[in-house]
Amino acid sequence: TSEEQVAYLVRILPGNIEENQYPIKLNGITTIGRKECDIIFPDDTTLSDQHASISHGPEGYFLRDDGSATGVFLRAAEGRSLEVLPGNLVRAGRQFLYFTQSNGKYQVIHYNQAGKEVQRFDLGEKTLVAGRAAPDIILDSKDMTLSRRHLAITVKEDKIFIKDLKSVNGTYLKVKNAVKLEHGDRFRVGQQVFVFTLKEDAVLDTGYFTTQPGSVLQPPVKEPVEEKEKIAKESKAPIVEQEPSATPEVEEPPQIKPGELAITIQGLGKTIPFKKGQTICEALEEHGIEIDAECHAGICGSDPIKIISGKENLNELGDDELEALEDICELDPKECRLACMVKPTGSVVIEILPNNS
């Protein structure tokens, strides 16, 4: 590719193998299809002649469906919730989920790969997990392109969100209009899967980044104090001494009363009280300690913790939590739990783990 090309597509083969790279035009339109396009796959019968395009302009790179018969699908990023709207179509494995709204209620309609309606589900506050062997929605037990627990569907504040649960083949949202592409985005057209890649700016030895090819971002130059005084005298401007900032108020840690149940968070140096019947997640949130909990049902695996001590004070591990820990978090359930599912009966010491789900 020429030096002007700053973005390209990487074709992904089955098994997540990277194949060819295709440059994207700068300040122009790159077309994808079976015939007379910049990127062509004449043997892919699921592609339209002019299937999709990527345009580049001042606002960035945008992927568009150019009226294809089978659609353009953008993969949901792992570990991040993606909002879907009524009228959106989502692909998981060879199955399709169509989101709709009727009489003020959200529904999801499941279609198989032949386009035949299979089942409908009402969406409410409860998080639903769909997949090949999922606890809530079994899409198709024989579709091996589905993961056992493929995606989660949640309604929050009257909005629908989906989250890919580390599925092998991904969860894809059909592109209705132009959608902005970010580095690392993966999308499907016909049988072709691509990763959109932006070339990284060069990093200089000084630790500063270039903003344009060939340009150098210089570190800010600090004026010596003597020079500042000289400038002030010449301009007859008074030197204003900055007043010392007020001492910030320090929040008092919660007081643990004798005999009170407590959770100690290793690494934060904090100990908080909790009430019987509370989950660890509820106690942390009550005391303003940040934890990335989404479904609060032990399904999404977004709030893993490590139990340092007090395992004997924990409630029993359930099947959903066990599967989330093993399949999504890839953690040992003998050492770790999900904060939203643990209701301790005695004091515990924990470590909040990063959310890698």
Judge whether residue 3 has pLDDT over 80: no
pLDDT of residue 357: 53
On whether both 97 and 191 belong to a single domain, the answer is: yes
Judge whether residue 37 has pLDDT over 80: yes
| Selection from 310, 291, 308 nearest residue 357 by Cα | 291
On whether both 20 and 138 belong to a single domain, the answer is: yes
Quick one: pLDDT band at residue 237, thresholds 50, 70, 90? Answer: very low
On whether both 50 and 151 belong to a single domain, the answer is: yes
pLDDT of residue 253: 56
Quick one: pLDDT band at residue 134, thresholds 50, 70, 90? Answer: confident
Q: Which of 199, 218, 233 is the last residue of a domain?
A: 199
Contact assessment for residue 339 and residue 279, using Cβ atoms and an 8 Å cutoff: yes
Quick one: pLDDT band at residue 84, thresholds 50, 70, 90? Answer: very high
User: Is 220 among the domain residues?
Assistant: no
Paired tokens of 58: 């001042």
User: Is 216 among the domain residues?
Assistant: no
Judge whether residue 224 has pLDDT over 50: no
On whether both 148 and 24 belong to a single domain, the answer is: yes
On whether both 160 and 60 belong to a single domain, the answer is: yes
Quick one: pLDDT band at residue 103, thresholds 50, 70, 90? Answer: confident
On whether both 134 and 283 belong to a single domain, the answer is: no
User: Is 240 among the domain residues?
Assistant: no
pLDDT of residue 121: 94
pLDDT of residue 356: 59
- Provide the domain count of the chain: 2
What integer is the mean pLDDT of 152-176?
Answer: 91
More confident residue, 50 or 16: 50
Report the alpha-carbon distance of residue 193 to residue 178 in Å, rounded.
18
User: Is 177 among the domain residues?
Assistant: yes
pLDDT of residue 223: 42
User: Is 348 among the domain residues?
Assistant: yes
Judge whether residue 206 has pLDDT over 80: no
What integer is the mean pLDDT of 132-151?
Answer: 92
| Selection from 94, 188, 184 nearest residue 143 by Cα | 94
- Please report, for the domain that includes residue 270, its CATH number: 3.10.20.30
Judge whether residue 64 has pLDDT over 80: yes
Q: Which of 158, 183, 199 is the last residue of a domain?
A: 199
HSE, CB side, 13 Å, CA atoms: give it for residue 195: 16
On whether both 34 and 118 belong to a single domain, the answer is: yes
More confident residue, 217 or 90: 90
Q: Please name the amino acid found at residue 177.
A: N
CA distances for 237 relative to 7, 14, 213, 221, 230, angstroms:
51, 70, 41, 22, 10
What integer is the mean pLDDT of 273-296?
Answer: 87
More confident residue, 320 or 250: 320
Judge whether residue 205 has pLDDT over 90: no
On whether both 53 and 191 belong to a single domain, the answer is: yes
On whether both 180 and 294 belong to a single domain, the answer is: no
User: Is 232 among the domain residues?
Assistant: no
Report the alpha-carbon distance of residue 300 to residue 288 in Å, rounded.
22
Judge whether residue 110 has pLDDT over 70: yes
On whether both 55 and 143 belong to a single domain, the answer is: yes
For the chain, the residue count is 357
The average confidence (pLDDT) of the chain is 82
Q: Tell me the β-bridge partners of 309.
A: 349
Q: What is the pLDDT of residues 167-192, one digit of tens each?
A: 888 999 999 888 999 999 999 999 99
| Selection from 79, 84, 82, 81 nearest residue 97 by Cα | 84
Quick one: pLDDT band at residue 87, thresholds 50, 70, 90? Answer: very high
What's the pTM value of the predicted model, to 2 decimals? 0.58
Q: Which of 199, 218, 250 is the last residue of a domain?
A: 199
User: Is 255 among the domain residues?
Assistant: no
Give residue 299's domain range: 262-352
| Selection from 305, 302, 296, 307 nearest residue 355 by Cα | 302
Strand 29-33 to strand 39-40: parallel, antiparallel, or no bridges (unpaired)? parallel
pLDDT of residue 203: 33
- Please report, for the domain that includes residue 132, its CATH number: 2.60.200.20
Judge whether residue 355 has pLDDT over 80: no
Report the alpha-carbon distance of residue 217 to residue 200 in Å, rounded.
15
On whether both 46 and 192 belong to a single domain, the answer is: yes
User: Is 88 among the domain residues?
Assistant: yes
| Selection from 80, 291, 290 nearest residue 166 by Cα | 80
What integer is the mean pLDDT of 79-104?
Answer: 91
On whether both 154 and 302 belong to a single domain, the answer is: no
